[in-house]
Structure 1
Amino acid sequence: MKKSKLFLFSILLTAMALFLAACGGNDGADGDSNEGGDSPSAISMLTGGTSGTYYPLGGEMAKIISDETGIQTDALSSNASADNVISLQNEEAELAFVQTDVVAFAEQGINAFDGNPVDNVLAIGSLYPETIQIVTTQDSGIESVEDLAGKTVSVGAPGSGTYVNAEQLLEVHGMTMDDIDAQHLDFGESTGGIQDGNIDAAFITAGTPTGAVEGLGATADIKIVAIEQDKIDALIEEYPYYAQDTIAAGTYAGQEQDIATVAVGAMLAVTESLSEDTVYEITKAIYDNAESITHAKGEFISPEAGVEGIGIDFHPGAEKYFKEAGVLE
């Protein structure tokens, strides 16, 4: 009888051990490890305001990811780059559109991230140039950056990518935010304010054509202020993440000439907690299907361009994709 009880007890202990091992074996298989694991069933992609470029483009990309990987991907409007990085840092979302300069600031712990460096956000890849546009109207009398002095100008939220771009452009023109009446508005509010006569001009950093600027052009004669070549050269020398850019004639209603300006890069960033396999599949879905994107900025998205202008480390999953594509060593 005692042997029978001991035998049954032994079986019970073995069963419990197997059960605990099985439970423990699920650790790391839920997509929280960069070494692999199961894909999540759903993820969030942070974009930007509904009147910018991130939101409509993000909607198309989210559908591609959903269709190609089976991971339900939801594109959500947000306050764009700086807030998006913080949300990724806090693991409140998995993917986000960001400016290349802003995410570099985040890693360095400067500007909006002063004292709060971000070390858990990695790159998927570059997407397209984000053009710095100084928008006003033909009858505003503003012909140059210097003419913004004393004017009411929207510069974006403090610490945002647009704000930093405005601050640095003013700097190379010998100006500061104190020289203007700075207003912190999003793109839609900025162009609405110009239309209503409440502000004189607005800095807008976004892919062209930008929906908010197109909307303004439907009701007002808009003007995009050009940046002089010597100031472009000075800006790039001081801040190498800028590149010279041109807003081609005809981009907006009534724009008859090319406009010289500068651009930074738009990119996709990801929280490092997503597995290598998951990020590989996401990266492959985006870049292998870029030709199906109908948004105007889709033409810039390619594996070759995806590795350009990245100032932070790639996620291992993205790195794997770009190496297989032969564009990264």
Structure 2
Amino acid sequence: MKFFKNFRFLAATLIVGVAIGSSLAIAQTPAFFRIGTGGTAGTYYPIGGLIANAISGSGDKGVSGLVATAVSSNGSVANINAIQGGAMESGFSQSDVAYWAYSGTGLYEGKGKVEDLRLIATLYPETIHLVARKGAAIKSVADLKGKRVSLDEPGSGTIVDARIVLGAYGLTEKDIKAEYLKPGPAGDRLRDGALDAYFFVGGYPTGAISELATSSGISLVPITGPEADKLLADNSFFAKDIIPAGTYKDVGETPTISVAAQWVTSAKQPDDLVYNITKVMWNDATRTALDAGHAKGKLITLKNATTGLGIPLHPGAERFYKEAGVLK
């Protein structure tokens, strides 16, 4: 009888121990938070890496129990699709693409609305670069007619904006010899003389274009004039921009246009998690990392975080911005 009592006590102890162990394991299981970025040659990827490192919980920094990673992708559209499908917890998008997705307009016309799309922060201006081969005799967008031009890959935000820019100057893809390459391969083909120009949307300076300007020389094509003015009037998510002289070797000041880079997520992400991520995003340690880590990092500011929204803020992010006094 005593044996059975002891056996029952041991069994109960084991069950309690397993239960406690399981609870601890669950409690200690890290939360993974992927950030869809862009190609490794662009600006999204290094900025994503800086943010992922800042918000990952290790030591006395980041969000406790959070493991964040920057994931290379095809850009804005691919990131929004991944968030919608649950393959990513968050991602970067151009403000125009985010607006179209949420409203079911533009690129998303007839494809349904991505109603769960929410904003964590507006990050920095994304400048439209129209990079041309030296000697290609391309002085304006209109000069692209008949030229070999890469518009970036399907699924990227760049290709959408490239089509809008071409249209503003009376051109379509049928008027050019269109190719669909990421910025890295496009730059290689430009260097080899197999391509005349390519579009890139991202913060300046971008490493791939800097390397190209240094190694073989480039020109930047201005996006300006009455055509650009009408484009700006018709598309409120665009703004005037200037690439300063000397940003790229031997390239003078170039007037162009820009959209905003935004960090987006799903309404399904827990409010407390997004609140804590947003809080860490704007602390002093992250500020230092952004300032030191990339030229575009200095433009990522709390003051600009809630500008040019286009889509609703995630409730967790909104709570932080109200506490911080940047949102009423």
TM-score by length of 2: 0.86
Q: Is the 8 A contact 1:152 1:201 kept in 2?
A: yes
Match of 1:79 among 52, 74, 77: 74
Does residue 53 in structure 1 map to residue 43 in structure 2?
yes
- The amino acid across from 1:285 in the alignment is V
Match of 2:262 in 1: 267
Match of 1:69 in 2: 63
Match of 1:248 in 2: 244
Gaps of 5+ in 2: 1-18
Q: Distance in 2 between matches of 1:46 and 1:148?
A: 32
Runs of 4+ in structure 1 off by over 3 angstroms are 37-40
Percent same amino acid among aligned pairs? 39
Q: Distance in 1 between matches of 2:242 and 2:253?
A: 6
Give the match's secondary structure for 1:69.
Answer: coil
Match of 1:292 in 2: 289
Does residue 125 in structure 1 map to residue 124 in structure 2?
no
Q: Is the 8 A contact 1:291 1:299 kept in 2?
A: no
Q: Distance in 2 between matches of 1:109 and 1:44?
A: 25
Match of 1:192 in 2: 188
Q: Distance in 2 between matches of 1:143 and 1:95?
A: 39
The structural deviation recorded for 1:40 is: 5.5
- Residue 39 to residue 177, structure 1, CA distance change in 2 (3 Å): farther
Q: Distance in 2 between matches of 1:110 and 1:281?
A: 32
Q: Is the 8 A contact 2:76 2:155 kept in 1?
A: no
Deviation by residue 1:188-211 (Cα, 9 ceiling, x = unmatched): 011111011111100100110111
Q: Is the 8 A contact 1:111 1:159 kept in 2?
A: no
- The amino acid across from 1:84 in the alignment is N
Q: Is the 8 A contact 2:37 2:75 kept in 1?
A: yes
Deviation by residue 1:66-111 (Cα, 9 ceiling, x = unmatched): 1411311011111110000000001111110111100111112234
Match of 1:211 among 207, 212, 216: 207
Does residue 325 in structure 1 map to residue 324 in structure 2?
yes
Q: What is the RMSD computed on CA atoms of the aligned residues?
A: 1.9
Match of 1:97 in 2: 92
- The amino acid across from 1:317 in the alignment is G
Deviation by residue 1:48-72 (Cα, 9 ceiling, x = unmatched): 1000001111111100001411311
The structural deviation recorded for 1:159 is: 4.7
- Residue 290 to residue 39, structure 1, CA distance change in 2 (3 Å): farther
Q: Distance in 1 between matches of 2:79 and 2:185?
A: 20
Q: Distance in 1 between matches of 2:189 and 2:201?
A: 17
Deviation by residue 1:205-262 (Cα, 9 ceiling, x = unmatched): 011011111121122111000122322211110101000000001100112x210000
Match of 1:183 in 2: 179
Q: How does 1:215-226 map to 2 (within 5 A)?
A: 215-226=211-222
- Residue 310 to residue 38, structure 1, CA distance change in 2 (3 Å): farther
Q: Distance in 2 between matches of 1:169 and 1:275?
A: 38
Q: How many pairs are equivalent?
A: 295
Q: Distance in 2 between matches of 1:81 and 1:272?
A: 18
Match of 1:43 in 2: 33
Q: Distance in 1 between matches of 2:307 and 2:29?
A: 28
Q: Distance in 1 between matches of 2:94 and 2:28?
A: 30
The structural deviation recorded for 1:38 is: 10
Match of 2:3 in 1: none
Does residue 141 in structure 1 map to residue 148 in structure 2?
no
Q: Distance in 2 between matches of 1:262 and 1:40?
A: 41
Q: Distance in 2 between matches of 1:85 and 1:324?
A: 28
TM-score by length of 1: 0.86
Gaps of 5+ in 1: 1-21, 31-36
- The amino acid across from 1:105 in the alignment is W
The structural deviation recorded for 1:157 is: 2.1
Deviation by residue 1:6-34 (Cα, 9 ceiling, x = unmatched): xxxxxxxxxxxxxxxx9xxx9xxx9xxxx
- The amino acid across from 2:234 in the alignment is E
Give the match's secondary structure for 1:312.
Answer: coil
